[in-house]
Amino acid sequence: MSESKKVVVITGAAGFLGSHLCDRFIKEGYKVIGIDNLITGDLKNIEHLFKLEDFEFYNHDISLFINIPGRVDYILNFASPASPIDYLKIPIQTLKVGSLGVHNCLGLAKAKNARILVASTSEVYGDPEVHPQKETYWGHVNPVGPRGVYDEAKRFQEAITMAYHTFHGLEVRIARIFNTYGPRMRLNDGRVIPAFMGQALRGEDLTIFGDGTQTRSFCFVDDLIEGLYRLLLSDYTGPVNIGNPQEISLNEFAEEILKLTGKNVKVSYKPLPVDDPKQRQPDITLAREVLGWEPKVERAEGLQKTYEYFQTLSQEELYKEVR
Ligand code: NAD
Instruction: Tell me the average pLDDT of the chain.
Output: 94
The answer, yes or no, to whether residue 294 has pLDDT greater than 90, is yes
Using an 8 Å Cβ cutoff, are 217 and 247 in contact?
yes
Ligand 1 pocket mutation, candidates 78, 90, 97, 180, criterion most atoms within 8 A of CB:
78
The answer, yes or no, to whether residue 275 has pLDDT greater than 80, is no
Counting Cβ atoms within 10 Å, is residue 219 exposed (0-12), middle (13-18) or buried (19+)?
Answer: buried
Catalytic residue among 30, 74, 87, 150: 150
Q: What's the mean pLDDT in 175-181?
A: 96
Is the dihedral angle over the CA atoms 72, 119, 291, 124 positive or is it negative? Answer: negative
Longest CA pairwise span in the chain (Å)? 60
39 in ligand 1 pocket by Cβ < 6 Å?
Answer: yes
15 in ligand 1 pocket by Cβ < 6 Å?
Answer: yes
pLDDT-above-90 percentage for the chain: 86
Question: Minimal CA–CA distance to 106: which of 135, 77, 134?
Answer: 77
Other beta carbons within 10 Å of 51: 7
pLDDT in the model for residue 278: 65
Active site annotation includes 150: yes
pLDDT in the model for residue 323: 41
**Cα angle 299, 232, 171; round to 5:** 150
Span 4-29, pLDDT tens digits: 899 999 999 999 999 999 999 999 99
Q: What's the mean pLDDT in 81-107?
A: 96
Span 123-147, pLDDT tens digits: 999 988 899 999 999 999 999 988 8
Q: List the residue whose alpha carbon is closest to atom 27 of ligand 1.
A: 82
Give the number of the atom of ligand 1 that is nearest the alpha carbon of residue 81: 2
DSSP class of residue 282? Answer: B
pLDDT in the model for residue 293: 98
pLDDT in the model for residue 146: 84
The answer, yes or no, to whether residue 62 has pLDDT greater than 90, is yes
> 10: which strand partners?
34, 76
pLDDT in the model for residue 322: 46
Q: What's the mean pLDDT in 245-269?
A: 94
Give the number of the atom of ligand 1 that is nearest the alpha carbon of residue 18: 26
Using an 8 Å Cβ cutoff, are 122 and 177 in contact?
yes
Q: What's the mean pLDDT in 99-103?
A: 98
Span 230-246, pLDDT tens digits: 999 999 999 999 999 99
Lowest-confidence region among 100-109, 153-162, 263-272: 263-272
Task: Report how far apart, in Å, the C-alpha atoms of 128 and of each of 32, 161, 285, 298 are.
Answer: 37, 23, 18, 27
